[in-house]
Structure 1
Amino acid sequence: MQPVKHLIALLLFAIATTGLAAGNANAASFDDAQKEEIEQIVTDYLLENPDVIRQVFGKLREEDSKREQAARAERANRAKQALAENKDELLNAEDQIVFGNPDGDVTIVEFLDYNCGYCKQAFGSMLSLVESDKDLRFIVKEWPVLGPQSMEAALVAMAVTQEAPEKYWDFHKAMMTLRGTADKESALRVAEKLGLSRSKLEALYEDKSLIKPIEDNYRLAEALQLTGTPGFVVGDEVIPGFVPAQALQSKLESVRSCGSTTC
């Protein structure tokens, strides 16, 4: 059978199946034998012309890619708007501890979880940047999204900020290099090694007000369209996921140069 006839058969099959799905009376005129014949014609055509299948799947992938790009662009736009609306809280929250230079000219904000492997992978980059860039502000947003144990560790971190804010950076470094699961007990052991009182931290741990900054971080992360840890904010850009030090450094330089991560 010629390709044109194959194509006609393919169209007939599409019309038939569409009509059947819609309850079309004309579609009912195809008996079982005819439908089997049409199906065989379509199958034979596709087997003889595999490029048609590749073209169809290529078109589907292209359409999926376009939809995903549009969705990413929409998320980025919503995140940028949320960043503008929440900038003061993001950068100057009450009782917020700033690492690096509190008066630095550029700020990196990181949303993290102490049980997040990618956060720990990113920590080396953050440590290098804080130590090498004397004009960098670095803000940690405790965002325990990986279960109850992560919440326990975050609450101990909040207790440390209340009891000994000057030791929070050392506590943070120790937690980010901790082996095993981060939870209340492991976080308390880290704090004890830094000379902090377990009993005082446990008393603070029970203070319900410690949950408020974490709840605020949840709200901010949701507004910024973050879906998991780590998540970064640099200048006017929200960056979901792990970012190498070199890429972050490039964005910092751009912000200093033109006020945006994309000059």
Structure 2
Amino acid sequence: MKRILMIGAFLALCTPWGPGPAGAQEAAPGFTPRQREEIVGILREALRTDPSILRDAIGAMQEAQRAEQEGARRAALAASRDALFNDARDPIKGNPRGDVTIVEFFDARCTYCKALYPNMQALLQRDGNVRVVMKDLPILGPNSVLASRALLAAQRQGKYEPLYDALLKLRTEPTESVIQAEAQRAGLDWPRLRRDMEDPAIQARLEANIALAQRLQLEGTPALIIGDTLVPGAVELPELQRLVAEARRRG
């Protein structure tokens, strides 16, 4: 009990309070300056005799921060459901009428997105009732932006998925010349594709995806949303199947 009280006192003293008049730091509510001084003295002595109190207190602070971030993310997911699942402009893979939807944020240059790619392909081959919403999220530099623009331009020719497959299998940089070769190999009209890549509407879609990712506090790619669960990073096929089955049970 004494240990719990010590950690609670440490957390209370570490809580940030706004600056008072003349820029001084306000005392924590409920503590007089004298009481605060006495508590600090007790804590110092406790930390000297048992340094693990500090470790436990920091762990408690980190856990509280994680819980707060998770709560904010869940609220953002709930508020963004239409933008995530029901934007008619987004490319769709798998079964458009599938009973489970996965939203995939990806960057065509991302090493981990490339690692996830065969697992997602295997999932769609084995489960014909999964719908995947593709969210291009170019965060790794100019060639990422170039690739995302090419993909969304290819969608206008009904060739998003063949070009996506080609770019995710690439082991070289998706420079313009590389994209041109892959696009022509996939049967795309390159002059039309190159013109469409410069359409401001495509840039606006990419900016909307970036803003959505920021609202959801995504920290990188790939990021999957399966039902109401955010799954960061590359995931192996068995885990994908488990998450889909869980979302299906929840309806």
Same fold (TM over 0.5): yes
Residues 167-224 of structure 1: per-residue CA shift (max 9 Å, x gap): 2111111111101112333222211111112111111112111111111111111111
1:94 aligns with 2:88: yes
Instruction: Give the alignment's TM-score, normalised by structure 2.
Output: 0.76
Structure with max Cα Rg: 1
Q: Is the 8 A contact 1:125 1:245 kept in 2?
A: yes
The structure-2 alpha-carbon separation of the partners of 1:133 and 1:66, relative to structure 1 and needing over 3 Å to count, comes to same
Q: 1:256 aligns with which of 235, 241, 248?
A: 248
Task: Structure 1: give runs of 5+ residues left out of the alignment.
Answer: 1-51
Task: Structure 2: give runs of 5+ residues left out of the alignment.
Answer: 1-46
Report the Cα distance in structure 2 between the residues aligned to 1:177 and 1:243, rounded to whole angstroms: 17
Q: In the comparison of the two structures, how many residue pairs are matched?
A: 205
Q: Is the 8 A contact 1:114 1:153 kept in 2?
A: yes
Aligned to 1:233, the other structure's residue is in SS state: strand
Report the Cα distance in structure 2 between the residues aligned to 1:244 and 1:67, rounded to whole angstroms: 32
Report the Cα distance in structure 1 between the residues aligned to 2:138 and 2:48, rounded to whole angstroms: 46
Quote how far apart the aligned CAs of 1:129 are.
Answer: 0.6
1:228 aligns with 2:220: yes
Q: 2:197 aligns with which of 205, 208, 211?
A: 205
Instruction: Give the alignment's TM-score, normalised by structure 1.
Output: 0.73
Residue in 1 that maps onto 2:58:
64
User: Matches of residues 20-39 of structure 1 in structure 2 within 5 Å?
Assistant: none
Report the Cα distance in structure 1 between the residues aligned to 2:138 and 2:50, rounded to whole angstroms: 45
Report the Cα distance in structure 2 between the residues aligned to 1:77 and 1:245, rounded to whole angstroms: 28
What letter is aligned with 2:134? V
The structure-2 alpha-carbon separation of the partners of 1:67 and 1:124, relative to structure 1 and needing over 3 Å to count, comes to farther
Q: 1:119 aligns with which of 93, 103, 113?
A: 113
Q: Which runs of 4+ in 1 moved over 4 A?
A: 52-55
What letter is aligned with 1:226? L
Report the Cα distance in structure 2 between the residues aligned to 1:201 and 1:153, rounded to whole angstroms: 12
Report the Cα distance in structure 2 between the residues aligned to 1:239 and 1:61, rounded to whole angstroms: 29
Report the Cα distance in structure 2 between the residues aligned to 1:247 and 1:188, rounded to whole angstroms: 36
The structure-2 alpha-carbon separation of the partners of 1:213 and 1:179, relative to structure 1 and needing over 3 Å to count, comes to same
Give RMSD over aligned pairs. Answer: 1.8
